Amino acid sequence: MMTDFLANDKLLILGLLIFSFLIGFILIKGISKIYTFIAKKIPLHNEIKKYFYFPSWFLISILIFSIASSAINFKLESSDYIITKTIQILYVLFFGILSIRTISFLEYILNEKQPKDIADFHKRQLNTQLKIIKSITTAIISVICMALIFLSFSSLKSLGSTILTSAGIIGIIAGFAAQKTLNLLFAGIQIAISQPIKIGDVLIVEGEWGTVEEITLTYVVLKIWDLRRLVIPINYFVEKSFQNWTKTSTQLLGTVYIYLDYSIDIEKLRKALNDILNSTPLWDKFASGIQVTDANDKTMQVRALVSAKNSSDLWNLRCLVREKLIEYIKNEAPQSLPKIRNIVYLEEK
């Protein structure tokens, strides 16, 4: 059976390819250990190993396969053609993988090089731009690699022109599909440049409140407050209106409404609000205030204005202020709770 395997050139080439990658894996393991020992003082040595480990293994395996295949005399003339094309495809894949890993490594470096005191807003802005640029370049590299692989075969060179010149329903459907894909791609580029949204932004989309968790070339993932994920096509954000609470800053203002009787002492209530805010780190010390914003025949509406550094802190601060103000009114001014007054006239007998 071993003789039959060696006699079959195609099986022998496949076995040689698998063998080359196994030997390459063993070699890269050893090289990796030596590199880790030598390069301890090199900046980012762990990240270099992380991003370039796989491309290095791939390159070593290709070299082993090239050397081993040239040392073997194959029986069929077509075997040389198969080996040549296999090596060409492997090198195209290698340069594609190396390019994508290099882009990922550069993205990591640019994120790490940001000053430690830079505002969160600017970090998210840069992070969003880098991720979209990375997605676009990765897609372009993938398409180029696929094209080079197809063009390396003479039988496939005419495939593209055949599809492009073919008429009928399939051509129309393909045209519409390509148009939609290009629209998504251009929408992604537009978002990277104009940045109506960034990773970490707080949005209200289709009545749902959430945080932008992921931005890709085709869709955006919105993390809803109850941990659901809303997946939205990326062109939605250039074609339709939506609310972005953190477009220019994460700092937000919030309100708490309480309905009280006319007997409440507003000045004491203002002091109570200041005491509540000063006792919690949720308040960013930017804004606070108490105002009577409405009144009717039974109660008046009191609005407490507060501010916080982000939407999460603001929500918790509003809940805290509401609870503490109710507690204050219950303990210090129970007579100011909403009440219905009835005037009773007693007739003298």
| pLDDT tens per residue, range 114-133 | 655 445 666 776 777 788 78
Quick one: pLDDT at residue 82? Answer: 80
Q: What pLDDT sits at residue 274?
A: 92
Tens of pLDDT, residues 20-57: 899 989 998 888 888 888 877 777 778 888 888 899 99
| 333, pLDDT greater than 90 | no
Q: What is the tens place of the pLDDT at every residue in 284-305?
A: 888 889 999 999 888 899 999 9
**Whether the Cβ atoms of residue 245 and residue 231 lie closer than 8 Å to each other:** no
Spell out the domains of the chain, with CATH numbers in brackets: 2-113 (no CATH), 252-336 (3.30.70.100)
Percent of the chain with pLDDT over 70: 82
User: Which residues neighbour 92 within 8 Å (Cβ) at sequence distance 6 or greater?
Assistant: 145, 148, 149, 152
